[in-house]
Amino acid sequence: MIEADPALVALLNASPEDGHGERKLVWLVARRRDTGAEVTRGLWNGEDDITFSIRSGFTGLNEDRTYYGASIKDVGEIVSGIDLNVPSVDVTLPIMNDVTEQLLREYNARLASVEIHTLYLAPNTGMPVGTLLDFVGEVDKAPIKTPEAGGEGSIVIKVVSDIMSMLTRINGRKSSHEDQAKYGDGDQINKYASTVARWPIPWGQKRT
């Protein structure tokens, strides 16, 4: 069940007639490359740095978060489904930006936790009314596209659903010899799985 502030509910109900504005908020929890310490970064496609009280998609608690302005170029379409396909979202960041440069070069964003919220704005004043959580996941890829002379580069972060990624992830322990041996004494299943393909077997003879 999604809980929303009454003012936001009223805004969305009146939106077909009055309209509303939207901005995207992206929150990442990455790690420093030098120490491995956890760091957080907030990005959004507004102009100025601003602090919002946001309900975390991971803890469900409200947190005061600072989001750096002009640090998002685009957030791709977020598609919901009912199958086991792993949904993904492309978040495009500007390459000539100190915040995003630090995020990708000084910090390690690989497998960073990500939350994407939509910030809703009042149509007449442009003031924030409330936010809703759109997506929770982790960074899968973050390639940096260096521009040619005179061109404009970008950073496209591919974010995959955290829950669906874990449901479809293969657990190597379940197929290892050590794990299988727990099910019975003398069980040799998978003990030679990594080398059996290279065994020389003479024609007409059976391996014993």
Q: Where are the alpha helices (DSSP H) in 22-106?
A: 98-101
Percent of the chain with pLDDT over 70: 69
Short-list 154, 130, 150, CA closest to 142: 154
Higher pLDDT pick, 26 / 146 = 26
Placement of tokens 């019975």 in the chain: 184
Q: Looking at 142-187, which runs of residues are DSSP E strands? A: 144-145, 154-161
The dihedral formed by the CA atoms of 53, 71, 123 and 129, expressed in degrees to the nearest 10: 0
Residue 24 confidence (pLDDT): 96
Tell me: the pLDDT tens digits for 109-131?
888 999 999 999 999 999 999 99
Please tell me whether residue 79 adopts helix, strand or coil conformation.
Answer: coil
Query: In b/e form, how buried is each residue of 159-180, taking b as 16+ CB within 10 angstroms?
Result: bbbbebbeeeeeeeeeeeeeeb
Distance separating alpha carbons of residues 162 and 48, to the nearest angstrom: 30
Q: Which pLDDT tens digit goes with each residue over 56-102?
A: 988 889 999 999 999 999 999 887 665 556 688 999 998 878 898 88
Whole-number pLDDT of residue 141: 82
Please tell me the distance from the alpha carbon of residue 72 to that of residue 115, in angstroms, as a whole number: 14
Q: How far apart are CA 65 and CA 53, in angstroms?
A: 6
Question: What mean pLDDT is reported for the chain?
Answer: 81
Between 55 and 204, the more confident residue is 55
pLDDT higher at 182 or 21: 21
Share of the chain above pLDDT 90, in %: 49
CA–CA distance, 200 with 177 (Å, rounded to integer): 22
d(CA 176, CA 6): 53
| 49 confidence band (pLDDT: 50, 70, 90) | very high
Total-model pTM: 0.74
Q: pLDDT by residue (tens digit) across 173-205? A: 555 555 556 655 555 556 666 676 666 666 555
Give the Cβ contact number of residue 31 at 10 Å. 16
**Per-residue model confidence (pLDDT) at position 154:** 76
